[in-house]
Amino acid sequence: MDIGEIEQEQIDYIKRNGVSITAETDFPDPLKSPLDVPVVLTKEQEDDIIKKIREQLEDTGPDTSKDAQSITLGSFITTLSRSFVGIMEDLLNFDGNLETVPLIFTKENRMVFVASLLIVISLILLAKR
């Protein structure tokens, strides 16, 4: 089994900060609780952990088929208006930290508003030619 960089990094983290594993199904989850003592894993346990990590990554991916089927004109307009209000609130409450500017435009579904705005501006510029 080929180990990718992400999986190897997570295995190394578990080894450095882990707890001892007594059963094959008793794998620690470093994201849920801090790990106390180093872990000694067998090759089979490492392969099982890597397999579970890959399954979790596949399971947590966005379900685009569900989102694409459920959009309506009303939900699109609601998304646009909520995004506009959210962007305006964040810009009015801007604290001066330039690192948070990209977050203002990418939170929640605000990219839909930004993309729609860019499309409208592009169409206006094309119409003026």
Spell out the alpha helix ranges (H) of the chain.
Answer: 5-17, 43-59, 64-69, 73-92, 101-106, 110-128
23-67: pLDDT as tens digits = 555 565 666 665 665 667 778 888 888 888 888 777 665 555 555
Domain identity same for 36 and 78: no
- Number of structural domains in the chain: 2
pTM score: 0.45
Q: In the numeric block, which tokens belong to residue 71?
A: 């959009």
Least confident of 60-64, 101-105, 116-120: 60-64
Q: How far apart, in whole angstroms, are the C-alpha atoms of residue 74 and residue 80?
A: 10
Domain that holds residue 54: 5-59
Show which of 42, 59, 76 is a domain's final residue: 59
